[in-house]
Amino acid sequence: MTKLSVLDLAPITLGSTAAQAMQNTVELAQHTEKLGFHRYWLAEHHNMPGIASAATSVLIGHVAGATKSIRVGAGGIMLPNHSPLVIAEQFGTLASLYPNRIDLGLGRAPGTDQVTSYALRRNSSSDAQSFPQDVVELLGYFGEPTTEQRVRAYPGSGLNVPVWILGSSLFGAQLAAMLGLPYAFASHFAPGDLDDAVALYRHRFEPSQYLDKPYVMAGFNVFAADTDDEARLLFSSIQQAFVNLRTGNAGQLPPPVEGYEENLDPRFVPSIRAALSCSAVGDKATIRKQMDAFVERTGVDELMVTAQIFDHQARLHSFKLLAEAAGLQPEE
């Protein structure tokens, strides 16, 4: 059975706070752990009023401390924003606190706008072009120390924290294949190159000390409810959020709106449908059918499920319905 995992952006809903979003994140992590999900990842974004996971490693530690067995990690850390040594120390610390439970997904996008990127780094010398070298440097910090290594990560050295390459283009696929690392594709919001990237990764994959054969995870939206109509209503929150982002009005996650797509400016409909095409929206039977079709088409080894649902209880219920539809085995 294809593994199911969770990607949480720690959404701040309209009128709520970051503190409440983080509390919701902990509850969702505990809930999905009991339901049998494999891992729980948080993503780095900055200057986004609707996302509470900017200090990603801090929130990962909080979630790992509130759970028992589920793997917890970054999906991902935007490496151009940081020095590899700092990330090695942060995730070496997490791996020391929570052995065999921490993952590190790495992306080369800034996760924000150019002005905010500069505010994060205070210079413009670090950019996406150095991403491959930065990944190799970071892997070196996690490996067994050598006599030639003048700088080491303490903690981190020798811990071999699992590293993933994230991407939404062919670039990340090529890098993951060359380094023999697992690959996660951001098809939950940028699915355009999914099929080509996965095919390229599998074709060029070189076995490594980290992985002996290709391993692909894909992002996938699931909005499950007791009826198809209710699920489509929940789905309207992320549709609104995408329009707001594309029009320069990014904000907190809005409440659902009845008939939103039907009354939307026709200019936005094609781009929203394309961006959110890797989604399952409906009751248990509907989402199982849509999810199975996606897995059959792509052959992915794991689905990283995300759900930007306004109402927290509806979000918890959506993941419960998904677990039941997929036949996950809950904790005893």
266 cis-preceded (ω within 30 degrees of 0): no
End-to-end CA, the chain: 20
Q: Are 280 and 224 in contact (CB under 8 A)?
A: yes
Cα–chain center distance at 80 = 17
Q: Tens-of-pLDDT digits for all 332 residues of the chain?
A: 799 999 999 999 999 999 999 999 999 999 999 999 999 999 999 999 999 999 999 999 999 999 999 999 999 999 988 999 999 999 999 999 999 999 999 999 766 677 777 777 656 555 557 899 999 999 999 999 888 889 999 999 999 999 999 999 999 999 999 999 999 999 999 999 999 999 999 999 999 999 999 999 999 999 999 999 999 999 999 999 999 998 988 899 999 999 999 999 999 999 999 999 999 999 999 999 999 999 999 999 999 999 999 999 999 999 999 999 999 988 76
pLDDT of residue 251: 94
pLDDT of residue 1: 74
Which helix (H) or strand (E) segment holds residue 303: the answer is strand 302-306
**Would you state the structure tokens that stand for residue 286, as one six-digit string?**
């509907």
| Burial class of residue 187, CB neighbours in 10 A (0-12, 13-18, 19+) | buried
Domains of the chain (ranges; CATH) run: 3-326 (3.20.20.30)
Q: How far apart are CA 42 and CA 166, in angstroms?
A: 13
Using the structure block, give the residue that is written with the tokens 């699992």: 162
The whole model's pTM is what? 0.94
pLDDT of residue 127: 58
Backbone angles phi and psi of 51, in degrees to 5: -130, 130
**Would you state the structure tokens that stand for residue 239, as one six-digit string?**
């549709």
Backbone angles phi and psi of 257, in degrees to 5: -130, 125
- Beta-carbon contacts of 291 under 8 Å, excluding residues fewer than 6 positions away, are 220, 222, 280, 303, 325, 326
The Cα diameter of the chain in Å comes to 65
Q: How many CA atoms lie within 13 A of 40 on its CB side?
A: 33
If one counts every other C-beta atom within 10 angstroms of the C-beta of residue 95, the result is 22
**Three-state secondary structure readout of 30-79:** HHHHHHCCCEEEECCCCCCCCECCCCHHHHHHHHHHHCCCCEEEEEEEEH
